[in-house]
Structure formats: C-alpha cells, structure tokens
Structure 1
Amino acid sequence: MKTLKWLMVGAITLSLTACASYYPVAVDVKPTVDASGGVYRGQAISLTSQDNRNNDYIIQIEQNNKAPVVVGASNNLKIQMEQALAQGFSDQGAVIEQGANTQIQLEIQEVLARVIRGHISYDVVQKLRMQLVLKRDGRTFTKQYRRSAQAEFPGRLHPELDKVSAAIDEQLTLMVKDMLADRDIQQFIGAQ
C-alpha cells in the first residue's frame, strides 16, 4: 500500500512538472537605446539602480484550471536598464561619472507580462512601472513612469515566449525612451 501511495505521488508530481517544463526557466531581455545627441553639454551624472519588484519573474503564464507558470529574466534586468540609460545619457552628451554631483537612481518597481490563454490565441498584458530619483545640492526630484500594453498572438498549444520577450523588450525600450526624452529630467540635469 505504501509503495502504491509513493507511486501515485510520483506520478502526480511528474505530470505537474511536465506542464511547467515545456517553458524555459528564463528568457533574455534587452532594451535598446535610441537617443538623440546634443541635449547635454558634458554635464556629469552618476547613475545607480535598484530592483524593488515584489517578484523576480517577468512572465506569468495563466491557463485554465492550472497553476500559473512563471518565467524570469536570464540576464539581470536592473543592469540591462541601467546600461541602457547610461548609454542614452552618454549619447545625449552627459558624462557618466561615479561620485558626480548630480545623482540619478533608477528604481524598477514592476515589469510583468501576463500571458492569458484563450481558445485559439493568447493575450499578453504588460505592466511596467519605474521611477527616477534625481539629487543635487540637497534638492531631490522624483518622476514616475508607467507603461502598459496588450497584444494578442495566435497559438493553440503554447505561447511562443520569443514573441512575449520581444514585446517586453519593446516596452522596456519605450520606457527608456520616455525617460531620456523627459523635459523635466533634462532641465534638472542641465541646470548645473
């Protein structure tokens, strides 16, 4: 009787992990930078980042009557966003310098793509929330950024995670673009 019980537990565990094992544990995400030059004239800024998300996954796959499957980022999202911002500020003419008088901190608060299974397709609902905190000479300026998007992709069996990660990349890229184009940020940095 004990052997049968252990066999049943093993079979149930194997069937649950078989569903989850179809998906990778992590996907690669990488925002790109498209910043125009000539915004700054050599102003020095320091740039740091924090990942304040409640969860470390970026994709949550939801299917009827099944536990959600979560997928993380294979590369460090915080470092990817910090590098993209640093590249953008440099392209705009700022000088990234540790210990600079103007300090910028990127805080990642939410990056999540919910993949919701339909009958012949699946919806990808994305939410991104970040903020920049700028400090100089005892002054602090905080700016919140939010992006949301929804897309529908065809697929009968399993969502194609390369399309989902490409959609996340697009939103991360747009988030970086929003930050770099923000006139309030440009004014704070430029008023040195």
Structure 2
Amino acid sequence: MKKLVLAASVVLLAACASPQQEQVNFAPKATTSAAKVVENKSMSLSSKDVRTAQYVALLDNGRSNITPVHTRQNLRIGIENALVNQFSSQGFQVTVNSENSLNVEVQEALVSVKHTVMENDMTANVVLELTAENAKGKLVKTYTGTASRSGLMSASNDDIETVLNDTVNLVLKEIANDKELQDYMKERF
C-alpha cells in the first residue's frame, strides 16, 4: 500500500512540475447579413482540418527556443459554427442531409511570433478552402487572410489571441461578401 501511495505521489508531483502548454481563446465572429440572399435553400455544411500540426502560434524568442501555442477551443468547430451562423443569416437552411453541400477545409491558421523582452513581431496566415457542390456542379474557392503586428515588450497570449481572431474574422467577412459564391449558391442550390 505504501508503494502505491508513493507511486501516486510521484506521478502527481511530476504532473504539477511539468510545464503547462500555452493556450489562447479562439472566438471567431460570424459576419451576419441584414438582408437575406435566398429563402430557405437547404445545404449541408462539413469541415475538416488538414493542417499538419494543431497549434495556432509559434513563439520564437531568438534563443533556439520555439514554443507552440494551442487554442482552448477546437479551431475547426469554431470556424464551422461561425459559417453556419453566417449562411443562416443569408437565408440558407443548414441541415444534416441535403443534396447541396458546402465543405470547408482549414489549410492554415498560424501566427508566427518573434519576440524579445523589448519588442515583438507577429505575422498571421489563415487559409480556408470552400467547396460548394451538388449534382449541377462544383465551385472551389480559396480564401486567404494575412496580418502583421508589431509592438513593444514581448507578445502576450492576449496579443496572439487578438491577431488570430482578427485574421480569421477577416477571412469570414470575405466569404460572407463574396458575390461569386453567393450567386453560385443562389442559382444552383
């Protein structure tokens, strides 16, 4: 029994001593439409994350020490939920089974951070690919968002969070305002 208590204590202490992974909040905001584009055209929406790694930021302090930063929320699900709200506000009815499908592929979502004690430089890249498809045809579009930000002092998690969310929101806004995508879905869905 003493060995079991000792082993449990060692495991507990090791867990407390191990460094915690850096995490940021991911909260994309849908660009909702005041006017409906269509009236209750149904579509199914699916998504997948094809990034090679699940972190959303890399912190480089210049001393051969690069730290990955993850989101507390699932990035793919956050983007999918924002798009559901976006398309619902445009008049589309998102259902599970529809002959009209929209597939979202998260290809990149990364904030590269180079920082020292005195300054930081952040560069964000977000790439989403949308495929609108049914029996009448298929439209594939890639949306890219980039942002740069510099500041004094080292970058905080709040700074990284702001840059990531703002860049994703820019891409969502571009999708919401894409007339070619709207016209395609209006005519073919």
Give TM-score, length-normalised by structure 1.
0.83
Check if 1:27 corresponds to 2:51. Answer: no
1:189 to 180, 185, 188: 185
Q: Which amino acid aligns with 1:75?
A: Q
Q: What residue is the counterpart of 2:173 in the other structure? A: 177
Within 5 Å, which residues of 2 pair with 1:41-190? 41-118=39-116, 120-137=118-135, 139-155=137-153, 158-190=154-186
Within 5 Å, which residues of 2 pair with 1:9-28? 21=19, 24-28=21-25
Q: Which amino acid aligns with 2:179?
A: R
SS in 2 for 1:29: coil
- After TM superposition, which residue ranges in structure 1, 4 or more long, deviate above 2 angstroms? none
Give me the whole-angstrom Cα distance separating, in 1, the residues matched to 2:170 and 2:21.
25
- Following superposition, the deviation at residue 67 of structure 1 comes to 2.2
Compute the RMSD of aligned alpha carbons: 1.8
Give TM-score, length-normalised by structure 2.
0.85
Q: Which amino acid aligns with 1:47?
A: L
Aligned residues: 171
> What stretches of structure 2 of length at least 5 have no aligned partner?
1-16
Give me the whole-angstrom Cα distance separating, in 2, the residues matched to 1:171 and 1:53.
17
Contact 2:57 2:113 (8 Å CA) reproduced: yes
- Following superposition, the deviation at residue 138 of structure 1 comes to 5.0
> What stretches of structure 1 of length at least 5 have no aligned partner?
1-17
- Following superposition, the deviation at residue 92 of structure 1 comes to 1.0
